[in-house]
Structure 1
Amino acid sequence: MAQVTTTSDIGGGRPVLVQVILLAGGIGLLAAAPFFLYPIFVMKLLCFALFAGSFNLLLGYTGLLSFGHAAFFGGAAYFTAHAVKEWGFPPELGLLVGVAGAAVLGLVMGFFAIRRQGIYFAMITLALAQMFYFFCLQAEFTHGEDGIQSVPRGKLLGFIDLGTPLNMYFFVLAVFLIGMLVIWRFINSPFGMILKSIRENEVRATSLGYSVARYKLGAFVMSAALAGLAGGLKALVFQFATLTDVTWQMSGEVILMTLLGGIGTLVGPVIGAGLVVTLGNYLATSEFPVTIITGIVFMVCVLLFRRGIVGEFYESRLGRKLGFEHRH
């Protein structure tokens, strides 16, 4: 397997002013988005952007390619939907149930998967995710192919009605920003630095005395929990959880988003998710087949942007001028 070249969003020479302007501008655009775009569309984009960011935490910063991340995304959607609808939990507690369920699932799957490397790791995650898919198909609480429907959004903290589109949107935006902040803090912590060293040279990390298996498992569980946060949020946005969220195609879709945006960048998966979700949304009502168009876009990006859209920008003259640093 070819070595993956990654980039980092936190460049050593990057001016602080540029960071502040880009961050403030991005948050400002997201805050204004529901007044110009269909709120449900933007909420879907944010959910998948967080999902892609969680996957990138595992692939881009730890070097582990998982083919089974849909299990955490879809599993949390089921857990959150069931807790809110059947147990009467408020939305914030329902989300916590989904995150906890995804973390436990990640702990179990990661315990077996991290014992192997490369393609063997990927195949084990795919096999375990398929086992979970068939569990969801047969389990009583998931309602099989019908899924869990008519999930109430409820009231946040007991008084904020999430049935109002704008209230729901800003709740989703807040959760998205918190999730991205957690990812940023995680990858820039001492734990994250060790993960990067494992990605670059696992043998050397082991020789330095680090418990590689423990760090890999920690990254896997954290990635699963954040993917669960995205899945639970999506269940509240669309008010249902179905088998579509746990299929292997969903795992492939998040890989596509991450590769398009740029592996190992904080912003890359967000851009990749935006591109894939936008294509799917605007081509859904056209005569063009969505999968074929998406595949063509992916091939073009692979040929022209080998590091992903954001990765290539970091390597460009403008990116270097702004202080973005490329790291191998």
Structure 2
Amino acid sequence: MILSRLSARPVPLIAGLLIALALPWMIYPPVALDIACWALFATAVDLLLGHTGLLPFGHAAFWGGSAYVTGLIALHAGLPFPLAVLGGAVAAAILAVPIGYLSARLRGIYFAMVTLAFAQVVYFVANQWRGLTGGENGLQGIPRDFFGIDLSDPFFFYYAGLPLVLAGLFAAWRVVRSPFGRVLTAVRDNPARAQALGYPVARYKLLAFVLSAGLSGLAGGLFAIGHGFASLDEVYWTTSGQVVMMVVLGGIGTLWGGALGAALIVELGDYLATAGFQEIGLVTGAIFVITVLVFRRGVWGTVHHLLPDPTRHRAPRRSASEGA
């Protein structure tokens, strides 16, 4: 039984890694990169929504803020794109400190509305500071410099940027599996009891918020490098709503469900756009409503619940003294 459990654990991870490596061979490489970036973004949001119990409706500030910082570093400092992306992720984490400090003490709709308000402030600054951000025109011509290697082909750039995405996903997985992640689960389930046990609930929420923002920034910076520009769309509130929809579609609290939801939404949007369909939001909204009404656990959560689990309903082992 123990051997079967140990052997079954890495199967989804290996399958996900193989799919990630084969993705640009199966679909258009720029779409594959979009899926990878949105998958990391959705995983970062699920770290806060599914494992801490906070509904973030302003994470576009970190995704888009990192996109702008990454673009500025790549344009003016001439650093290799991985360093530019890491710089954007650090900037997103720093931005999350004051926002998280002021909002992490709230819960429910109040937390969601406060984070949305801060995100709109970031959008206003990006729109008005035209000398730095380009305003409505955005930052254009962001380079993909990597020690002189030609990465203009989206196929090769996908594999150059994939290690950053995998590193972010691994970091999220380690956080969830660590004692810190178990405390976050306790804070989500019963914050009053966690506080009574001596855990500083507000501090744990703030740390989770900053970690989630940093991973979101990592995804947003790579997204900006991949597309060669950063625009106001990246910091607009609809971006926050879209990533929350991906998490709900895949399954809240499943961690990898957000990646599945991102793949479904991005690929569906690309298919509908290629077919000339204009009302993409109408279709994705309908899918979201159906998922909420029918698949309460999301796609990944429902499949995981239906699969047989040898550890579920297992009878406790009797000791030798009881057997005698």
| Shared fold (TM-score, shorter chain, > 0.5) | yes
Counterpart among 178, 183, 186 of residue 197 in structure 1: 186
- Whether 2:279 is the aligned partner of 1:289: answer yes
Q: C-alpha offsets along residues 102-143 of structure 1, whole Å, 9 cap, x if unaligned?
A: 001111110110122211111110111101100000112101
Q: Give the counterpart letter for 2:105 in structure 1.
A: R
Q: How has the CA–CA distance of structure 1 residues 196 and 321 changed in structure 2, closer, same or farther, with 3 Å as cutoff?
A: closer
- Whether 2:82 is the aligned partner of 1:59: answer no
What is the CA–CA distance in structure 2 between the aligned matches of 1:13 and 1:323, rounded to whole Å?
A: 12
- Whether 2:140 is the aligned partner of 1:152: answer no
Give how far 1:25 is off.
2.5
Question: Match of 1:226?
Answer: 215
Between the two proteins, the alignment pairs up a number of residues equal to 310
Bigger CA radius of gyration: 2
Q: Give the counterpart letter for 1:149 in structure 2.
A: Q
Q: TM-score, normalised by structure 2?
A: 0.92
Give how far 1:88 is off.
1.4
Counterpart among 194, 208, 220 of residue 197 in structure 2: 208
Question: Match of 2:167?
Answer: 178
Bigger mean CA deviation after superposition, 116-125 or 212-221? 116-125
Q: How has the CA–CA distance of structure 1 residues 75 and 324 changed in structure 2, closer, same or farther, with 3 Å as cutoff?
A: farther
Give how far 1:20 is off.
2.9
Give how far 1:276 is off.
0.8
What is the CA–CA distance in structure 2 between the aligned matches of 1:228 and 1:275, rounded to whole Å?
A: 22
Q: Secondary structure in 2 aligned to 1:104? A: helix
Q: How has the CA–CA distance of structure 1 residues 314 and 324 changed in structure 2, closer, same or farther, with 3 Å as cutoff?
A: farther
Counterpart among 248, 255, 260 of residue 237 in structure 2: 248
Question: Match of 1:117?
Answer: 107
Q: C-alpha offsets along residues 289-312 of structure 1, whole Å, 9 cap, x if unaligned?
A: 101111111111112201101111
What is the CA–CA distance in structure 1 between the aligned matches of 2:40 and 2:196, rounded to whole Å?
A: 34
The structure richer in helix per residue is: 2
Q: Give the counterpart letter for 2:142 in structure 1.
A: V
Question: Match of 1:217?
Answer: 206
What is the CA–CA distance in structure 2 between the aligned matches of 1:310 and 1:90, rounded to whole Å?
A: 36
- Whether 2:133 is the aligned partner of 1:142: answer yes
Q: Give the counterpart letter for 1:320 in structure 2.
A: P
Equivalent pair of 2:30/2:155 in contact (CA under 8 Å): no
Question: Match of 1:276?
Answer: 265
Give how far 1:159 is off.
4.9
Question: Match of 1:75?
Answer: 65
What is the CA–CA distance in structure 1 between the aligned matches of 2:128 and 2:208, rounded to whole Å?
A: 30
Structure 1: give runs of 5+ residues left out of the alignment. 1-11
Q: How has the CA–CA distance of structure 1 residues 179 and 324 changed in structure 2, closer, same or farther, with 3 Å as cutoff?
A: farther
Q: Looking at both structures, which has the greater relative contact order when contacts are Cα pairs under 8 Å and sequence separation is at least 6?
A: 1
What is the CA–CA distance in structure 2 between the aligned matches of 1:22 and 1:224, rounded to whole Å?
A: 26
Q: What's the C-alpha RMSD, in Å, of the aligned pairs?
A: 1.7
What is the CA–CA distance in structure 1 between the aligned matches of 2:157 and 2:312, rounded to whole Å?
A: 34
- Whether 2:302 is the aligned partner of 1:320: answer no
Give how far 1:323 is off.
5.9
Equivalent pair of 1:314/1:324 in contact (CA under 8 Å): no
